[in-house]
């Protein structure tokens, strides 16, 4: 079973105290960042810290965000990551299918691609399907917004829809939503995350431990959600036994295989999250 990740908590690789605080949080994964969170003068220190940072977060999914392969630091990042072997790599500013393929073959680790440029958006599906080690794609909205000269959050609605479609078309999980930068606005975070879930995202990148619980909560089905979904699955299973492929439920709602597939996903999600909690409590 692939471990589901609701919350991806970023922490700067050159500041081990912050990495240790992130590892003690309730995040499903920490992302030890060598890219934007680390100034050029501290890139070497960040790489030197990676082994210790990963060792201190052994109970979590441990990912590393590396600099773009075209940057002055990209190759050095990959060389170190290949040695320390995190659970996966978040690859910044992806644009080139050939580059993704080369990194996958060279490093041999799962890759989560971050699409942050107009060219990357145009190639979203090709990047998502570039190699079997590509396990996900997502948006880097701050960079994309800057590149597109977008003034409002609504200006990225089309890009969010496109990244969700590209991920699913390539057979990948639903993408994680990008960071909500107003850290103190927890109500805004919840509202934005609920909107993201409704738009087809699963999980979210976060930049402060106080954001983790809200994101985890939004992407965890409630008991009522699970019971309703299980009921739909059971109704259609019974319809199949009666050689029917659709039916109306007690309220008159139409249930067919597409509705039941969505319900089955919620049930499966519940069971997988329950197993994760059990493992963490041991």
In this prediction, residues 255-279 reach a mean pLDDT of: 80
DSSP letters, 190-232, are HHHHHHHHHTT---EEESSGGGHHHHHHHTS--HHHHHHHHHH
Report pLDDT for 143: 94
**So what's the pLDDT on residue 236?**
82
Residues 130 and 38 grouped into a single domain = yes
Determine the pLDDT at residue 138. Answer: 97
Same domain, 265 and 201: no
Check whether residue 214 and residue 227 sit in a common domain.
no
Strand partners, 136: 112
Last residue of a domain, one of 179, 194, 218: 218
Cα angle at 175 between 100 and 27, to 5 degrees?
105
Asked if residue 1 belongs to a domain, the reply is no
Q: Which of 190, 218, 246 is the last residue of a domain?
A: 218
Residue 2, in any domain of the structure: no
Into how many domains does the chain fold?
2
Give the SS3 label for residue 2: coil
Q: What is the mean pLDDT of the chain?
A: 92
**Predicted confidence (pLDDT) at residue 281 exceeds the cutoff of 60:** no
Kind of pairing, strands 111-115 and 88-91?
A: parallel
pLDDT > 70: what percent of the chain?
95
Calculate mean pLDDT across residues 40-61.
89
Q: What confidence category does residue 216 fall into, taking pLDDT thresholds of 50, 70 and 90?
A: very high
Say whether both 206 and 259 belong to one domain.
no
Nearest to 265 by CA among 235, 231, 237, 229: 229
In a domain, 153, yes or no: yes
What's the rounded mean pLDDT across residues 219-237? 88
Do 102 and 122 lie in a common domain? yes
What pLDDT shows up at residue 1?
Answer: 34
Please name which of 268, 189, 174, 255 lies closest in space to residue 221, comparing C-alpha atoms. Answer: 268
**176 and 46 belong to one structural domain:** yes
Q: What distance in Å separates the CA atoms of residue 245 and residue 117, rounded to the nearest whole number? A: 44
What number is the average pLDDT over the span 106-126?
97
- In a shared domain, residues 55 and 135: yes
Are 234 and 192 in the same domain? no
Q: 138-184 pLDDT, tens per residue?
A: 999 999 999 999 998 889 999 999 999 999 999 999 999 999 999 99
Position 111 scores a pLDDT of 98
Does 151 fall in a domain? yes
Domain CATH code at residue 126: 3.20.20.60
Both 105 and 245 in one domain: the answer is no
71-101: pLDDT as tens digits: 999 999 999 999 999 999 999 999 999 999 9
At 280 the pLDDT is: 56
Query: Is 172 found in the same domain as 48?
Result: yes
- For 47, the domain range is 7-218
The most distant pair of C-alpha atoms in the chain lies apart, rounded to whole Å, by 69
205 with 232, same domain? no
Q: Is residue 88 part of a domain?
A: yes
* Residue 273 pLDDT level (bands cut at 50, 70, 90): confident
Whole-model pTM: value is: 0.89
Domain final residue pick, 165, 199, 218: 218
- What pLDDT does 282 receive? 52
Report d(CA 67, CA 64) in Å as an integer: 10
pLDDT at 71: 93
Same domain, 269 and 195: no
**Within a domain: 111:** yes
Stretch (H or E) spanning 134? strand 134-139
Backbone angles phi, psi at 114, to 5 degrees: -110, 120
pLDDT (0 to 100) of residue 277? 61
List, for residues 20-31, the tens digit of each pLDDT value. Answer: 999 999 999 999
Distance CA 203, CA 148 (A): 25
């Amino acid at each position: 079973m692939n471990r589901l990740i609701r919350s991806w908590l970023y922490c700067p690789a050159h500041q081990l105290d912050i990495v240790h605080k992130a590892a003690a949080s309730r995040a499903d994964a920490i992302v030890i960042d060598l890219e934007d969170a680390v100034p050029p003068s501290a890139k070497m220190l960040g790489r030197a810290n990676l082994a210790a940072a990963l060792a201190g977060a052994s109970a979590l999914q441990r990912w590393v965000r590396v600099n773009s392969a075209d940057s002055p630091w990209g190759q050095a990042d990959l060389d170190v990551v290949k040695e320390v072997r995190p659970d996966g790599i978040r690859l910044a500013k992806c644009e080139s299918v050939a580059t993704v393929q080369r990194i996958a073959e060279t490093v041999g680790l799962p890759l989560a691609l971050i699409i942050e440029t107009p060219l990357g958006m145009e190639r979203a599906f090709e990047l998502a399907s570039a190699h079997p080690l590509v396990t996900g794609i997502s948006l880097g909205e701050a960079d994309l917004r800057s590149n597109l000269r977008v003034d409002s959050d609504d200006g990225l609605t089309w890009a969010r829809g496109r990244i969700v479609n590209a991920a699913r078309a390539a057979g990948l999980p639903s993408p994680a939503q990008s960071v909500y930068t107003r850290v103190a606005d927890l109500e805004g975070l919840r509202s934005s995350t609920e909107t993201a879930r409704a738009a087809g995202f699963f999980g979210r990148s976060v930049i402060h431990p106080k954001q983790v619980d809200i994101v985890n909560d939004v992407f965890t089905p409630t008991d009522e959600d699970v019971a309703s979904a299980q009921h739909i699955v059971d109704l259609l299973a019974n319809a199949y036994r009666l050689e029917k492929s659709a039916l109306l439920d007690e309220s008159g709602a139409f249930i067919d295989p597409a509705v039941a597939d969505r319900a089955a996903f919620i049930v499966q999600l519940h069971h997988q999250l329950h197993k994760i909690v059990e493992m963490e409590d041991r």
